[in-house]
Amino acid sequence: MESPQPAESSGEGLPGVGAGAHERDLELARAALAGSAQARREFVDLMACVPKFLAVMNARLGRPFADDALEDVVQETLVEIWRRLDSYAGHASLKTWAFRFCQQVLSSRLRSVRRRPPSVGLVSQRDPGGARLTSSLDYEHVYQALEKVDGLGARIVRHKHFDHLTLEEIARRLNMPPSSVKTHYQRTLSRLREILDPLRKEAGL
């Protein structure tokens, strides 16, 4: 993966921007790189914003990454931030600078996931003949299809197939009766099949 190269800016509208913050942050970054234990502790505390930023971004994308996978993204982002800390020039606050790494590393990871070989299985109700119907397409097609269906149903499907939760676990998480979760799940799968079947036929699946 190519290392992110976030451009610094004034940071308007981004987190962590405040008058007089940049000079202090630049001093902190230089001291941390020089080996100051106190500066490194402060830097680590400051970078507690990274998992928070990534959690919000992941949620806005519909949670494409489960908790374990998101933790990997957090660690990768922190490594990249530290590795390129010597390029920080103080034109934006450290939090704004880190925010841009979060955006770029998450986007890079998402592109990598979407380039994986077909591996997403969406299982629907049995057909009249009793055969189990499946749709196996790459992540990009599935994500696009999920954006076209009911929001609650899409969330349930994501929990079931991306987070690997049972319907009972999803019901507890969403504070819903299991029967309602099952109804939304089956209805959403039917709608997804309508969207994905033409793509499956085109791909010869």
CATH number at residue 128: 1.10.10.10
Residues 107 and 142 occupy one common structural domain: no
Strand partners, 19: none
Does a structural domain hold residue 15? no
- Average per-residue pLDDT for the chain: 75
Report yes or no on 125 lying in a domain. yes
- The Cα 56–Cα 77 span in angstroms is 15
pLDDT at 147: 75
User: Is residue 151 in some structural domain?
Assistant: yes
Note the pLDDT tens digit of each residue in 141-190.
666 677 777 788 888 887 777 667 888 989 998 899 989 999 988 888 88
Is pTM beyond 0.85 here? no
Into how many domains does the chain fold? 2
Query: Can you give the residue range of the structural domain that contains 86?
Result: 21-114
Convert the pLDDT of each residue in 19-74 to its tens digit: 345 889 999 999 999 999 999 999 999 999 999 999 998 888 888 888 888 888 99
Sort 144 into a burial class: Cβ within 10 Å, 0-12 / 13-18 / 19+.
middle
